[in-house]
Chains A and B, each alone.
Chain A
Amino acid sequence: MSFIIDYYNYWIVVFLMMTGFYIVISANNLVKKIVGLNIFQTSVFMLYITMGKVSGGTAPIVAEGVTLYSNPLPHVLILTAIVVGVATTAVGLSLIVRIKRAYGTVEENEFQNEDDAI
């Protein structure tokens, strides 16, 4: 039982990651791919934050009467990673807008067919 208590968090996070990953690689629609990519990344962020947690600890901001703080380093890393994620999302979405204008579709197999035809 304690095994499950210790690890359930990781397993659910792994499940979420894989859901996002599945959406990325199976979706045919580009917008959905980007959504999947975001879900995938957000879940990886959760993995990091999970490892930084200390049971009974509190947020790493000094407060009176608190001695046990969670680990601030994963928070810093993920803060950076979130920013990287939104930057990628923005560029990906603008690529989609341009693809729509150039091909008239954002379904992967459709514009692939068009390219092959040329």
Chain B
Amino acid sequence: MFEQHLAALPIIIPLIAAPIALILGRSLLTWGFATLISAWACYASWHLLLAALSEGSLSYAMGGWPPPWGIEMRVDAANAFVLLAVTAVSTLVLVYSKNSIEKEIDSAQHPLFYTAHLLCLAGLSGILVTGDAFNLFVFLEISSLATYTLVSLARDRRCLTAAFRYLVMGTIGATFILIGVGMLYMKTGTLNMLDLAERIHLADGNRTINTGLAFIMVGVSIKLALFPLHAWLPPAYTHAPSAVTAFLASTATKVAVYVMIRFIFTIFGADYVFREMGMDLILMVLAIVAIFKCSYMATAQSNVKTVLAYSSVAQIGYMVLGVSLVSVTGLMAGLIHIFNHALMKGALFMAVGAVFYRVGSVDIKAFRGLGKQMPLTMAAFTIAGLSIIGVPLTVGFVSKWYLVTAALEQQHWILAFLVLAGSLLAVIYIGRVLEAAYFQSASDDASAAEVKEAPWLMLIPMWSLVIANIYFGIETSITTEAASSASEWLFQNSKVLEVSP
């Protein structure tokens, strides 16, 4: 029975589970329930990826109405790949969050936390799977509203202002997307993505389409925290509860990058966006500025969560850089980095959350001597940190490798050099934390001496991600195969206006 509904399951499962989680209403019960649900969604998306790889693309007509009249779910290798990463990280984070939120969130609010987490998961899956431009907006708002809630659950009052800023900027972004989709709809009369792609260039006079593209790109850029529009991200990631940060950092912005890829390649067509509108140059410049400015900002922070938040903005720069290269390899590098970055940032934020669980602070001073006191946590942090830097045998190396390859393919020597130079900055900001952990001795307080290793429920998901970091860093065929077939699929199905010389 489920085979037939495979494309809809990753959305429907968490969507229906969220209200049930609220009714269950007990902290432990909802934790188990949410984790099982998330694991189920992950299992379904694994099958979905297999089906998408073998069949090319799957379509599911909601309500039995054929597209473009009804809403279509459309799954291909690209979104199934990202979906698997999102659901897998969500499951691991849920396992991890039991201890973490006991420390960081009032117990009365635990059921609300799990409900919001499931809603956020449902929203993100919906964004990934849907084949309808307006339906995407609806799911975007589900995930955003759940995210605002999750961010504001922390005890520190600064999470409130961070959530508010996030809310205002997120809503502006969503409204911009709404304006853009409206303009497309106005010129084509349809909302289905594939239908839009076919009809978009039939429309006479494309000033409206140009504006629609601009608004969608700005709106999505706010959601994915592209460089000048990233102001909401560092405070939100810094002040949110650790489990929430681990989840958001490894999923929410990645999904927004996917939305950008989907709009560029499937709806507008790469030729129109890059050749005619010259978007590639804009994106490339912004991506490079993001990599350097935000990596530099990361080196200057004292709060480790803020360091990692700025690092996230810089890493998003790498993904956008891959997209802006307009080649199969470049897009593939971007897609691989979406997956890989989810693995490394998830592990890093989980390690930081474990430190907060034991030490009660995430200031860089609090890390002093932790190399001895919490060896497993800090080892996880070290490996994931090396992955961010891009050391061989980690996934970070794979992403950087393909990114540099893509740049060299087009003779962009400077670009390849800049990518490597960006890694040096990563060495500095990760190195500062490692130095504190391994080479500085702990302060002499009695309280500091009592710090123990993090509980198993936190270590297991953390180390699962770390092992994945190494495994996919050595056994690269799985990810590269999925990403390259996704990338090729996107390029083949991207509407080509005319053959460019």
Interface residues in chain A, defined as those with a beta carbon under 8 Å from any beta carbon in chain B: 17, 21, 24, 30, 33, 37, 40-41, 44, 47-48, 51, 73-74, 77, 80-81, 84, 87-88, 91-92, 95-96, 98-99, 102-103, 111-112, 115
Contact = CB atoms under 8 A, between A and B. Distances in A.
Given A24-B172, A87-B141, A92 B178 contact: no
A66 B375 CA distance: 77
Interface string B120-159: 0000000000000010011001000100110010000110
Name which of A24, A51, A73, A88 has the most chain B CB atoms within 10 A of its CB: A88
A99 B160 contact: yes
28 contacts: A21-B172, A24-B168, A33-B168, A37-B168, A37-B171, A44-B182, A48-B182, A51-B185, A51-B186, A74-B185, A77-B134, A80-B138, A81-B137, A81-B178, A87-B141, A88-B141, A88-B145, A91-B145, A95-B148, A95-B163, A95-B164, A98-B152, A98-B160, A99-B157, A99-B160, A99-B161, A111-B161, A115-B161
B167 interface: yes
B175 interface: yes
B297 interface: no
B179 interface: yes
Given A73-B191, A92-B171, 5 more contacts: A21-B172, A37-B171, A47-B182, A98-B152, A99-B160
B228 to A, nearest CB: 14
Contacts of B160: 95, 98-99, 102
Interface in B60-109: none
B157 A103 contact: yes
B161 A40 contact: no
Contacts of B158: 115
A98 B152 CA distance: 10
Contacts of B179: 17, 44, 47
Contacts of A73: 191
B236 to A, nearest CB: 12
Contacts of B163: 95
Contacts of B157: 99, 102-103
A101 to B, nearest CB: 9
A92 B138 contact: no
Contacts of A81: 137, 178
Contacts of B134: 77, 80
Name which of B152, B163, B164 has the most chain A CB atoms within 10 A of its CB: B164
A92 B175 contact: no
A91 B149 contact: yes
A87 B145 contact: yes
Interface string B277-303: 000000000000000000000000000
A52 to B, nearest CB: 10
A99 B167 CA distance: 14
Nearest to A37: B171
Contacts of B148: 91, 95
A99 B141 contact: no
B182 A92 contact: no
